[in-house]
Structure 1
C-alpha cells in the first residue's frame, strides 16, 4: 500500500532513479512529464506491449479525452509508457506512476492493470483491454467494482469464434491454441475455448504455451500435423508475434484464426469481434468521468456489445482454404 505520509519522500527517491529505470521503460509517445503542465489534469498510461490492437486502444483513449476537451499539452498532461511485454517493467512503470500521483492511471492489458492496482493505493485506476477483471483480481464484481478501480473489458465472443471456424472448416476436429500461461486473461479465454469446443463440434483442443514472444514460432510449429486449425486468442504475447504464426500456417496449409479483428489485416483468415479503437473511446469516456469527480468503484465494468465479421480471402487462399459464400456475404469488413 502507498502511504501518503511517505509520498514526498518516495516521489523524490523514485524520480532520482529515473535514469536507471528509464533503461527498462519505453515511451510510446505522449506529452510532457513536468513544468508548465503541472496544473493540468494528469493522466498516466501504462501499456503492456505495442501491437495493433492495444495501440488502437491507446489511440481511442486519447481521442476520447480530446473529444471531451482534454487535449494533450493544452488542457491535459498525458504520459504513456510501454512495458514491452515485460511484467517486471510493468511493475516499474506502476511504481513510477504511484510516486508521480496522477489524477488517473490508465492501464492497458491485464498485466499492466494488475501492476498498476498493486501499487496505486488510492489513485484511481481505469483499465482497458482486460479480458476477465474478476479472475485477474482487479475488481470485487463487475456491477460494483469497489475501491479505486474500474474499466472496460475486451472479453472475446469465444462461442462465436468457434462457430465461425467450424463453418469455414466443417471437417475440422482438433483445434490448436497458442497462448501465454502467464497471462490470466489468456488462461480464462482458453478455459472458455475448452468448455465450448465440444458444443461447437470439436473433439479436442490442443494447447501450446509460451513464456515470451520469441517462443511463438516454435509453439506454432509444434502444432503442425496434430491440429486442423490454430486459434490465437487475445493474448498480448502471442499477438505481438502473430506474423510468425501466420507464416507457419502458410508454409503448412494450416488455417489460422484470431480472437481479435485487427489480426485479420495481419494475415489470419477471419475473426468476429469489436474494434479496439472503440474500446479505447469507451475507456476514454470513463476516464473523463473520473476527471470530473466520479469514483471508479461506483462505475460498473463495461463490455463491448457491437460485433463485426472480418475476413481475409487472400490469407484463406494462402492456407489452402476456400471461404464459404455464406461467410463472404455477411462479412462486415473484407481485407483485400
Structure 2
C-alpha cells in the first residue's frame, strides 16, 4: 500500500527527530577517526563503556567510527603515538594524563583534543576551565585538590596512626602540593613520608620503603602511573599488610581497601562521551568549558579490611557511598 505524500513526509520527519535525539544525525557516508593516546590498555572495562556510549550516540566502531592511535602507551612513547594519530587523520584525539595530552598538543595545533587529567589548568594544558583556549578541552578530575581529603580519611578510618606514607609520581605533583600534604598530616599530629616512583619498576621498592619506615597507612596519589598499575599496587600493599587509599572508586571494587574520588564509569557517560560527540560533530574545543566531576564517591572494601584485621569505625562506615562485603 502506498502512503500519501504528507504521511511519508511526517514519517520521515519523525524518524529524523528520533535520530537527532539519539545522536544519529552524523554525516551520511562519512567515517570519523577517533585517536587515542592513553596509558590504560584496551582491555580495561571502562573502554567498553565508552564505546557503548559512543555507539548510542551514533558513532559505531567498525562502522562509521575508526579508532587510530594506541591504548597502553608506555612512558616515552606518547610523542610517537600522538604523531601517528595525527598522520592517520584523526578528527579528535582523546588523551589521558599530562604527558599524553602534552604530546598531542605538540603534534597538532588544530585537531581537537579531549583530555582526562588531574588538573588541566595547573598542568598548563588549558588556559582556564571556562575558556580553555587552543585546541584542548576535557575533564579535570580534582586529583590534587582531594589528596588532603583522602589523607584525612585514612586518619578517620584508622584512629591513632602517627606515620603515613604517600606513593607519588614526582611528575604528577609539585613540591608545594606535597608540602601542603605534609602540613596537613602535621596538623593531625602525624608525620608524612614521601615515596617516589617514576616508572613501573620503582613502585614496589617505593611501597617497601614506606613499610620500612613504619608507615601505618599509604595514600596512593592519583596519577597515570598509579592508575595503570593499580593491580600491582593493590596486590603488594596486601602482601606487606599496609592499608592504602586510592583515588578511583573502582579500585576498591577490585580489592583496594578504600578509595575516594570520581568514578570513571560515571564520568564517561556524564562528561567524556558528550564532549567527544560535540567535538566529532565539529564543535570547537575552545568553546567547550573544561568540566569537573560533580559526584565524588567514597568506596570501602570490608573484605579487604577484614583481611588486614582492621575494625572500621561505625562513623566512617556510615559515610561510605559504597561498601563492598
Any stretches of 5+ residues in structure 2 without a counterpart? 1-27
Tell me how far apart the structure 2 counterparts of residues 305 and 187 of structure 1 sit (CA, whole Å): 28
Query: What does the per-residue CA deviation read over 1:6-25, in whole Å, with 9 as the maximum and x for residues that have no partner?
Result: xxxxxxxxxxxxxxxxxxxx
Partner of 1:81: 70
Shift of 1:328: 2.3
Aligned counterparts, 1:24-173, within 5 A = 39-50=30-41, 55=44, 57-79=46-68, 81-86=70-75, 88-128=76-116, 130-156=117-143, 157-173=146-162
Of 153-162 and 222-231, the range deviating more from structure 2: 153-162
Tell me how far apart the structure 1 counterparts of residues 104 and 92 of structure 2 sit (CA, whole Å): 11
Tell me how far apart the structure 2 counterparts of residues 195 and 66 of structure 1 sit (CA, whole Å): 47
Structure 1's 101 and 245: CA in aligned 2 closer, same or farther, altered over 3 A? Answer: closer
Any stretches of 5+ residues in structure 1 without a counterpart? 1-36
Higher relative contact order (CA 8 A, sep 6+): 1
The 3-state SS of whatever aligns with 1:114 is helix
The 3-state SS of whatever aligns with 2:52 is helix
Indicate the structure (1 or 2) with the bigger Cα radius of gyration: 2
Tell me how far apart the structure 2 counterparts of residues 122 and 178 of structure 1 sit (CA, whole Å): 37
TM-score by length of 1: 0.79
Shift of 1:167: 1.0
Of 316-325 and 57-66, the range deviating more from structure 2: 57-66
Structure 1's 229 and 291: CA in aligned 2 closer, same or farther, altered over 3 A? Answer: same
The 3-state SS of whatever aligns with 1:224 is helix
CA RMSD between the two structures: 2.5
Structure 1's 70 and 297: CA in aligned 2 closer, same or farther, altered over 3 A? Answer: same
Aligned counterparts, 1:190-229, within 5 A = 190=178, 193-194=181-182, 196-199=184-187, 201-226=188-213, 227-229=215-217
Tell me how far apart the structure 2 counterparts of residues 61 and 112 of structure 1 sit (CA, whole Å): 19
TM-score by length of 2: 0.81
Matched, 1:238 2:226: yes
Query: What does the per-residue CA deviation read over 1:154-207, in whole Å, with 9 as the maximum and x for residues that have no partner?
Result: 2233343123211111211222111222x33687864653354345x2532211
Q: Tell whether the 8 Å contact from 2:94 to 2:115 is kept in structure 1 after alignment.
A: yes
Aligned counterparts, 1:177-326, within 5 A = 177-181=166-170, 183-184=171-172, 190=178, 193-194=181-182, 196-199=184-187, 201-226=188-213, 227-281=215-269, 282-326=271-315
Moved over 6 A (4+): 186-189
Shift of 1:276: 0.4
Q: Tell whether the 8 Å contact from 1:249 to 1:319 is kept in structure 2 after alignment.
A: no
Q: Tell whether the 8 Å contact from 1:51 to 1:240 is kept in structure 2 after alignment.
A: no
The 3-state SS of whatever aligns with 1:301 is coil
Partner of 2:9: none
Tell me how far apart the structure 2 counterparts of residues 208 and 321 of structure 1 sit (CA, whole Å): 24
